[in-house]
């Protein structure tokens, strides 16, 4: 990764000033624009996956497979993109992820035309790279300022993602109509439109300002002497209690959210909702996933990441129980909003636990493993969602998710206990 040399002004103020501050703002603005476009493509394609697989496969048991394939692709691409970040910088890594997602959209469209479930799953696997690129954007933002406000900067990117992510599902019906008017299968439309979003995101990151990391610690600004004074925590390569807890919180929160949300469009269809209402509920859920990020970031920075993670666990439990008993559009919509809020708290607190106090050169590796943990856990949840729905209905699926969400609470206490011990 490229770094920007520190200057005297940054030492006293604790934040970049002058030319460095201007460069940081331009980089952040480009990252916001790419997040809007990537969030749009990610949410639109993700909403159509379960419906398309159910239509082509002829069974609800395969409805969760595209999401599972997408998440498996996200986990695999996280390792590749984190390595690319180390060697080529964040712009190259994030733009490459978005470009691979474009190819995924094309492959899924071909699968819809040919009524081929394997092609749909292959395209979904490639789409996972776009999801990883969107999610890794939060770490790129966190590196553009001081250590003490990492949560707030990650939140700013998630808020930008909200704009595109909320718009995406609401275009489910119009995009499907567009494809039908072109003589294509209706559910191929969302993937064609999503490809446009990912293409624009890749272009923005390719030609935009470099996502250069600003000095964020005395160790980086002052050289070897300051590095020694900063203590061993900044240089450690081991995960430790905080890192392990952060990885666990990220993985469990994503597993619960994906498992419950993957089959929500199918459950809404059972209730009698049309595509427009399904898109609206998904949009509300996505809004709750990203829009509260400033509050979640503030809580993470001020109250502490461990305490915020405990709150995330409580919300995920409540949301899953509510979804298990939901029998109407309104009650399921409320459950989806609560599910998104819990995921948001878990994402920011878990990301902070995973990367705070770690030398910037070592962060991409941790970030990659964090995305791998999220992807693998959620892929398992997505793959299991369909069979569980067939066996015991949506109630069994959501109840199981509530039990898994309860595991976040001991992870949060594990971190608090370590801090009290020190």
Give tens-digit pLDDT for 25-74. Answer: 777 888 888 989 998 998 888 878 888 998 888 887 788 788 778 878 88
Q: Residue 3 carries which DSSP code?
A: B
| Percent of all residues in the chain with a pLDDT value above 70, rounded to a whole number | 84
**What local confidence, expressed as pLDDT, does residue 238 receive?**
66
| Residue written as token pair 């109630």 | 395
Q: How confident is the model at residue 10 (pLDDT cuts 50, 70, 90)?
A: very low
- Give the residues across from 3 on adjacent strands: 213
Judge contact between 145 and 214, C-beta under 8 A.
yes
162 against 236, higher pLDDT: 162
**What local confidence, expressed as pLDDT, does residue 74 receive?**
86
**What local confidence, expressed as pLDDT, does residue 236 receive?**
47
Average of per-residue pLDDT across 367-385:
82
- Ramachandran angles phi, psi of 230, nearest 5°: -70, -20
Average of per-residue pLDDT across 84-101:
90
356 against 419, higher pLDDT: 356
Judge contact between 198 and 41, C-beta under 8 A.
yes
Average of per-residue pLDDT across 127-140:
89
| Residue written as token pair 């964090």 | 370
pLDDT tens across 199-226, in order? Answer: 999 998 888 767 654 444 434 433 433 3
**What local confidence, expressed as pLDDT, does residue 422 receive?**
54
**What local confidence, expressed as pLDDT, does residue 104 receive?**
96
pLDDT tens across 219-239, in order? Answer: 443 343 333 333 343 444 566
**What local confidence, expressed as pLDDT, does residue 219 receive?**
41
Average of per-residue pLDDT across 144-163:
78
214 against 323, higher pLDDT: 323
**What local confidence, expressed as pLDDT, does residue 361 receive?**
74
**Is the pLDDT reported for residue 188 higher than 60?**
yes
Judge contact between 269 and 149, C-beta under 8 A.
no
**Could you give the CA distance from residue 248 to residue 404 in angstroms, rounded to a whole number?**
11
**Is the pLDDT reported for residue 415 higher than 60?**
yes
- Give the residues across from 213 on adjacent strands: 3
Distances (CA, A) of 162 to 34, 168, 217, 326: 12, 10, 30, 26
Judge contact between 207 and 199, C-beta under 8 A.
no
Domain boundaries, the chain: 15-212+231-421
Distances (CA, A) of 48 to 192, 195, 281: 11, 13, 13
**Could you give the CA distance from residue 310 to residue 345 in angstroms, rounded to a whole number?**
9
Q: 36 burial class (0-12, 13-18, 19+ CB within 10 angstroms)?
A: buried
**Could you give the CA distance from residue 192 to residue 271 in angstroms, rounded to a whole number?**
28
Written as six digits, the tokens of 280 are 């609206």
**Is the pLDDT reported for residue 241 higher than 80?**
no
Which region, left, alpha or beta, applies to residue 92 given φ > 0 means left and ψ of -120 to 50 means alpha?
A: alpha
Q: Residue 213 carries which DSSP code?
A: B
Closest CA to 209 of 30, 422, 14, 3: 30
**Could you give the CA distance from residue 51 to residue 120 in angstroms, rounded to a whole number?**
12
Written as six digits, the tokens of 40 are 């749009």
Closest CA to 260 of 378, 121, 127, 134: 378
Neighbours of 284 (CB within 10 A): 17
**What local confidence, expressed as pLDDT, does residue 195 receive?**
95
- Ramachandran angles phi, psi of 66, nearest 5°: -60, -40
Written as six digits, the tokens of 34 are 């790419």
Q: Across the chain, what does the average pLDDT equal? A: 81
- Arch. (CATH architecture) of 15-212+231-421: Up-down Bundle (1.20)
- Ramachandran angles phi, psi of 203, nearest 5°: -65, -40
Distances (CA, A) of 246 to 140, 148, 250, 286, 299: 18, 17, 6, 22, 16
**What local confidence, expressed as pLDDT, does residue 211 receive?**
67
**Is the pLDDT reported for residue 3 higher than 90?**
no
pLDDT tens across 270-316, in order? Answer: 887 777 788 788 878 878 888 888 899 888 888 888 889 999 999 99
Judge contact between 67 and 51, C-beta under 8 A.
no
**Could you give the CA distance from residue 94 to residue 206 in angstroms, rounded to a whole number?**
9
């Amino acid at each position: 990764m490229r770094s920007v040399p520190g200057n005297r002004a940054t030492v006293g103020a604790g934040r970049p000033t002058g030319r460095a501050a201007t460069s940081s703002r331009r980089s952040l603005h480009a990252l916001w624009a790419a997040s809007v476009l990537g969030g749009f493509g990610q949410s639109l394609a993700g909403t159509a996956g379960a419906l398309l697989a159910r239509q082509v496969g002829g069974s609800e048991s395969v409805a969760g497979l595209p999401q599972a394939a997408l998440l498996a692709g996200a986990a695999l691409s996280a390792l590749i993109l984190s390595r690319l970040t180390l060697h080529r910088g964040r712009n190259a890594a994030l733009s490459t992820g978005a470009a691979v997602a474009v190819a995924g959209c094309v492959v899924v469209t071909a699968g819809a035309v040919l009524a081929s479930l394997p092609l749909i799953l292959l395209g979904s696997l490639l789409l996972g790279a776009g999801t990883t690129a969107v999610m890794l954007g939060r770490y790129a933002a966190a590196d553009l300022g001081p250590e003490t406000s990492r949560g707030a900067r990650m939140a700013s990117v998630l808020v930008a993602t909200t704009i595109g992510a909320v718009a995406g599902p609401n275009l489910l019906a119009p995009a499907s109509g567009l494809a039908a008017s072109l003589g294509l299968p209706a559910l191929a439309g969302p993937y064609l439109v999503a490809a446009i979003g990912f293409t624009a995101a890749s272009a923005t990151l390719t030609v935009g300002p470099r996502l250069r990391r600003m000095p964020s610690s005395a160790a980086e600004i002052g050289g070897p002497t300051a590095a020694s004074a900063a203590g061993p925590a900044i240089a450690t390569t081991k995960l430790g209690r905080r890192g392990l807890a952060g990885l666990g919180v990220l993985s469990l929160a994503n597993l619960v959210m994906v498992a419950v949300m993957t089959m929500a469009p199918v459950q809404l269809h059972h209730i009698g909702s049309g595509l427009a209402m399904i898109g609206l509920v998904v949009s509300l859920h996505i809004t709750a996933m990203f829009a509260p990020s400033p509050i979640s970031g503030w809580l993470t920075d001020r109250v502490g990441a461990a305490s915020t993670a405990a709150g995330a666990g409580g919300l995920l439990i409540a949301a899953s129980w509510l979804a298990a008993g939901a029998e109407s559009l309104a009650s399921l919509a409320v459950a989806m909003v609560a599910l998104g809020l819990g995921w948001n708290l878990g994402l920011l607190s878990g990301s902070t636990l995973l990367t705070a106090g770690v030398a910037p050169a070592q962060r991409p590796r941790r970030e990659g493993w964090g995305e791998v943990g999220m992807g693998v856990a959620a892929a398992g949840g997505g793959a299991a969602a369909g069979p569980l729905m067939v066996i015991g209905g949506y109630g069994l699926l959501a109840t199981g998710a509530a039990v898994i969400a309860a595991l976040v609470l001991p992870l949060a206490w594990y971190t608090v206990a370590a801090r009290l011990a020190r």
